[in-house]
Amino acid sequence: MADVIELNEIPTLSLLYKLNRIPIASDQASSYEPNVAYNDKISIIKQDITSLAIDAIVNAANESLLGGGGVDGAIHRAAGPDLVEECRTLDGCEAGDAKITDGYELPSKKVIHAVGPRWYALSAPDAEAKLKSCYRRGLELAVENDLKSIAFPAISTGVFSYPNVKACNDALTEVREFLDEGKGDGLQRIIFCNFLQKDQDIYYKHVSKHFPPVAEVEETDEVTKTSTDETEIAAKLPDPPTTEPKHPDEPSSKKQKTEAAEDDFVVVDKDDAKGTPKGEL
């Protein structure tokens, strides 16, 4: 099992800005107000989500909720067989919705199973609405269950073939909207947990449009100097990206997208990989 990562080891967006880890492109004017409380709440990391010792991790599940490939398989393997036993009692879940279970042998207390849209099976607006709904339902369930920290994988961007850049922007838009509606005040941390370097680079590139940096104030000893904790977190961070996001090979053999334009996909047997019978759509 991967080393366990505690919440206090995960850098906030505020810290990433302070360390100049997030590029602010001149063509990325934000229509959103900078908000320090939000930037203290948001994290972007590249990790195996099953290693996070937080309140809830989100699973990119399929409608059966009985396990599948990708992050779903990794979560079920790490949680042990009791997870699928509880999932059996849930009677499945529709795309765009989410259901919650215990985390069992995972370091995370709870798992929120969200069913993302299959990009290739829906119109773009329908897929977008369902993807955004996954993020919203995940956040709602966290709040309803008094959970303070939640990590999302890049839902639907694997087997379900949602374009990565659009998925990132749709996720960030929905989370920002949820916070702007005042619904996430009780949440301490919302983590975008990427598995692929490609997705990590995309989140680093696009986050400032949705969660712009707050203008720096003059440093005082009490407030803005980098704390000892922050210094320790910073020391563990990888170097910031120096090139545009590229499209490397997926780490496993279940790569679904072509290397060409983002919207240029090859349709393959994705449902088999997810353990869902074909023709259910």
Residues that bind ligand ADP (CB under 6 A): 48-50, 60, 70-72, 74, 116, 153-160, 193, 195-196, 199, 274
- C-beta of 40 vs 63, nearer to ligand ADP: 63
- Letter for the amino acid at 201? D
- C-beta of 45 vs 100, nearer to ligand ADP: 45
Q: How far is the CB of 199 from ligand ADP (least distance, A)?
A: 6
- C-beta of 141 vs 191, nearer to ligand ADP: 191
* Alpha-carbon span 193 to 190, nearest angstrom: 9
- C-beta of 31 vs 253, nearer to ligand ADP: 253
* Alpha-carbon span 29 to 31, nearest angstrom: 7
Q: How far is the CB of 18 from ligand ADP (least distance, A)?
A: 26
Name the one residue in this structure whose structure tokens are 């240029």.
264
- C-beta of 14 vs 108, nearer to ligand ADP: 108
Radius of gyration of the chain (CA): 18
Task: State in Å, rounded, how far the first CA of the chain is from the last one.
Answer: 35
Identify the three-state secondary structure at position 143: helix
Q: How far is the CB of 156 from ligand ADP (least distance, A)?
A: 4
- C-beta of 39 vs 59, nearer to ligand ADP: 59
Antiparallel, parallel or unpaired: β 110-115 and 98-102? antiparallel
Q: How far is the CB of 54 from ligand ADP (least distance, A)?
A: 13
Q: How far is the CB of 223 from ligand ADP (least distance, A)?
A: 34
Beta strands in the chain (DSSP E): 5-6, 42-46, 52-53, 56-61, 98-102, 110-115, 149-152, 189-194
* Alpha-carbon span 70 to 205, nearest angstrom: 24
Q: How far is the CB of 83 from ligand ADP (least distance, A)?
A: 14
